[in-house]
């Protein structure tokens, strides 16, 4: 406790009480206690402030009270008090008892007798109990307490648990991007699938991603899909893959399935062009509804051979790609796409597919619909499934045309579910 200090007394405070006015006054004289007395403490100085003189001054009573004569041996000096030895000993005994009580309270309250200990954060207050057998820690009401036998699970493991590669028909997944995209668009899916134990290959088709081909020089679908077919051709005879195609990548994997049907265990079309034989991707886009004209407004044809020649590529207006392709996707992914997308070669879009039941038709197909798609509307996706029914149709709610951005975890869950489906029994 810090020593107390008061202003020096004034004339009004040293005058006789009978001379003061009858109105209440809060100025009073502080008795001076020398440090040489038998017992002195700051607390005693505080108690002296509430002397009879202070009470009279505060209450406005100007009648002077008679004080008993000082005990024998005590000093008659005004403002000082000298106690007898027995009184000083009694007071000191009471003070020691009070000090002992204060120390005991400090020990019980963690070091402070005036207030309980500061309520620190839960992580500090319960730090010792985490490694011992103490009481339970406060838990969030949104989570179930982990049982003693349950292992700690990382967030991504909730999506990847119970996936065993030796129980799958194949653990090789090949991701094929859509028009204007590249292998870069699958970065979230690649991470999730690899964490699940899959071997993932994301292909950059000709003139896409980091592929060095000039988009304007690609004149056929087979040339455009060459990086994919080269990869399939390099596989061993007993190896199979799961092909996943998005957007225009649907036509690309259909072409590859026709060429290498025995190397494709399953094919997954993600809001993709799943065409019948004799149809082109341009046919699909020409027939689908474009109520707001967004797709037409976003397309810009490139004429590298001159205006009097057919277009060589299609580019998309960067100002409209968010509404067209990424209307439900995070802004960071939209920014990634805006600096990574390349023009789409026009000749492969015009080419009609030639598919046979023996090759293309022998591969198991699955379709994943996207409900908030502004590029291939849900109605167009459903129409393609009606014309060429797949084995099973899945639906990603609240997903735009790019579910690898807007719904990566939900897309991953469906891909794992499809991969875990056992092979069909031979007829």
Active site residues: 247, 373, 401
Q: Which of 180, 175, 212 is nearest to 348 (CA)?
A: 180
* Length of the chain measured in residues: 427
Helices and strands, counts by H and E, the chain: 18, 9
State how far the Cα of 280 lies from the Cα of 349, in Å rounded to an integer.
7
Element (H, E) at 227: helix 226-233
Token couple for 87: 């009184």
CB-hemisphere CA count at 13 Å for 276?
A: 7
Measured in whole angstroms, the distance separating CA 364 from the mean position of its chain's CA atoms is 37
Reading across the β-sheet that carries 299-302, which strands appear in turn?
299-302, 313-316, 344-345
Backbone angles phi, psi at 74, to 5 degrees: -90, 150
Q: Which of 223, 204, 426, 180 is nearest to 321 (CA)?
A: 180
Q: Which of 178, 143, 189 is nearest to 413 (CA)?
A: 189
Token couple for 247: 């957007």
State how far the Cα of 321 lies from the Cα of 324, in Å rounded to an integer.
5
> In 6-113, where does DSSP find H-type helix?
11-14, 42-48, 52-59, 85-108
Q: Cβ(215)–Cβ(343) under 8 Å?
A: yes
- Three-class secondary structure assignment of 167-201: HCCCCEEEEECCCCCCHHHHHHHHHHHHHCCCEEE
């Amino acid at each position: 406790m810090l020593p107390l200090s008061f202003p020096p007394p004034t004339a009004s405070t040293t005058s006789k009480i009978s001379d003061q006015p009858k109105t209440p006054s809060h100025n009073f004289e502080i008795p001076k206690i020398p440090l040489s007395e038998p017992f002195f403490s700051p607390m005693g100085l505080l108690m002296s402030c509430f002397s009879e003189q202070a009470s009279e001054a505060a209450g406005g009573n100007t009648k002077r009270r008679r004080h008993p004569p000082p005990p024998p041996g005590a000093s008659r000096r005004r403002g000082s008090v000298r106690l007898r030895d027995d009184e000083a000993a009694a007071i000191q005994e009471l003070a020691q008892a009070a000090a002992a009580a204060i120390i005991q309270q400090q020990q019980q309250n963690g070091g402070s007798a005036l207030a309980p200990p500061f309520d620190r954060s839960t992580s500090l207050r319960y730090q010792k109990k985490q490694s011992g057998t103490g009481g339970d820690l406060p838990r969030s009401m949104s989570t179930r307490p982990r049982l003693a036998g349950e292992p700690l699970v990382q967030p991504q493991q909730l999506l990847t648990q119970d996936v065993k590669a030796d129980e799958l028909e194949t653990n090789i997944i090949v991701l094929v991007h859509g028009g204007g995209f590249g292998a870069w668009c699958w970065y979230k899916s690649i991470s999730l699938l690899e964490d699940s134990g899959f071997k993932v290959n994301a292909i950059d088709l000709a003139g896409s991603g980091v592929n060095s081909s000039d988009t304007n020089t690609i004149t056929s679908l087979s040339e455009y899909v060459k990086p994919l077919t080269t990869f399939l051709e390099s596989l061993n005879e007993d190896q199979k893959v799961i092909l996943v195609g998005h957007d225009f990548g649907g036509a690309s994997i259909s072409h590859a399935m026709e060429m290498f049907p025995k190397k494709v265990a399953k094919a997954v079309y993600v809001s993709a062009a799943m065409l019948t034989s004799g149809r082109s991707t341009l046919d699909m886009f020409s027939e689908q509804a474009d109520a707001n004209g967004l797709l037409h407004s976003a397309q810009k044809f490139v004429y590298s051979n001159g205006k009097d020649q057919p277009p060589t590529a299609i580019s998309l207006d960067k100002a409209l790609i968010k509404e067209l392709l990424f209307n439900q996707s995070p802004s960071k992914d939209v920014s990634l796409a805006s600096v990574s997308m390349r023009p789409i070669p026009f000749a492969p879009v015009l080419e009609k597919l030639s598919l046979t039941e023996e090759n293309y038709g022998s591969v198991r197909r699955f379709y994943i619909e996207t409900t908030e798609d502004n590029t291939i509307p849900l109605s167009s996706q459903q129409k393609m499934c009606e014309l060429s029914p797949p084995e099973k149709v899945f639906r990603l709610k609240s997903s735009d045309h790019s579910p690898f951005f807007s719904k990566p975890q939900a897309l991953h869950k469906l891909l794992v579910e499809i991969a875990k489906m056992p092979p069909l029994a031979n007829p």
